[in-house]
Amino acid sequence: MADFQYGSNRENYDLGLYHCGMEVCRPGHYYGPAVRDHYLIHYIMDGKGIFKYGEKIYRLEKGQGFLICPGKVTYYQADTTDPWSYCWVGFTGYKAPYYLEQARLNQEEPVFGYDRDSALADCILQMVETYETNIWNETKILSLLYLFLTYLIDEAGIQPINRQIENRQEFYVKKVIEYVEMNYSRKIKISDIAAYIGLDRSYLGSVFREYTQKSLQQFLLEYRMNKACLLMRDRELAISDISRSVGYDDPLLFSKMFKRVKGKSPKQFRAYQPHT
């Protein structure tokens, strides 16, 4: 077994290595149930075992792997007759979810296959080897981590065209939501969202409506009003303060839009809200 840890204070990085290692497991060897505070990928080099995530149990073998997401309870165990050997890499960073989505890996789809060559294992073993030399080389470590994820992303691209289109549309919708979450308090327009994603406004609108059954304008409006509802609980905030906080400089326009969505004026709505 080898396990080298580099520290967890890397959440402000684009991508940062947490730890890596490899292990030849004993029959029935297990870990968990447990929760991690970082992303962790295991890749099976030989043998087989099970990975349990929620109510799902995955039976995995050589050439497959699994993702553990932060804050999720997981359990995994080596087979009792043909125990697995695996290597792993743990990482953090604010762009980690983005790279994993490109690799089609998330908490709903945590399992992958990669059996074309030994590239994934080689990347991790080189990370371990780099550490064993006692010469800290962060650039090399990170380049290997990026290369590891690149192999996963490339492998995810080898799939039927219909699935590629579906994933692309889902990606666009997630980027819309991401942009609105970051900018709803500003004066943004639908054209700003389209420019951010790099798509024609009409095309983006049709994709979003097909996927969510809502127009972009409706989604933006409802998102702002839902945020306004949360702010209503703070009695120190005037309606005009809340209006500006969700992107409306004109409190009268804000009140009109709020009533359209919620069926009550902001003042009426606030009267029924608990204090914070």
The pLDDT of residue 9 is: 46
For residue 192 the two structure tokens come to 């700003």
Q: Are 165 and 207 in contact (CB under 8 A)?
A: no
* Element spanning 46, H or E: strand 39-46
For residue 239 the two structure tokens come to 């309606």
* Element spanning 151, H or E: helix 138-156
For residue 120 the two structure tokens come to 């994934």
Q: Are 40 and 88 in contact (CB under 8 A)?
A: yes
Residue ranges of the chain with per-residue pLDDT less than 50: 1-2, 4, 7-12, 160-161
C-beta neighbour count of 176 within 10 angstroms: 25
C-beta neighbour count of 260 within 10 angstroms: 10
What are the structural domain ranges in the chain? 2-156, 167-212, 219-271
For residue 1 the two structure tokens come to 């077994």
274 three-state secondary structure: coil
For residue 200 the two structure tokens come to 């024609």
The pLDDT of residue 55 is: 84
For residue 41 the two structure tokens come to 């990928």
Q: Which residues contact 47 (CB under 8 A, 6 or more apart)?
A: 25, 61, 62, 78, 79, 82, 83, 84, 85
Tokens 């030849």 sit on residue = 24
Q: Are 92 and 5 in contact (CB under 8 A)?
A: no
For residue 229, give the nearest of 256, 189, 253, 261 by alpha carbon. 261
User: What is the architecture of the domain spanning 2-156?
Assistant: Sandwich (2.60)
Q: What is the pLDDT of residues 108-140, one digit of tens each?
A: 889 999 988 899 999 999 988 887 765 557 788
The pLDDT of residue 158 is: 52
User: What is the architecture of the domain spanning 219-271?
Assistant: Orthogonal Bundle (1.10)
Distances 199 to 80, 98, 193, 206, 219 between C-alpha atoms, Å: 52, 19, 9, 11, 18
The pLDDT of residue 263 is: 92
C-beta neighbour count of 116 within 10 angstroms: 12
Regarding pTM above 0.75, the answer is: no
The pLDDT of residue 94 is: 80
Distance (Å, whole) CA 44 – CA 225: 47
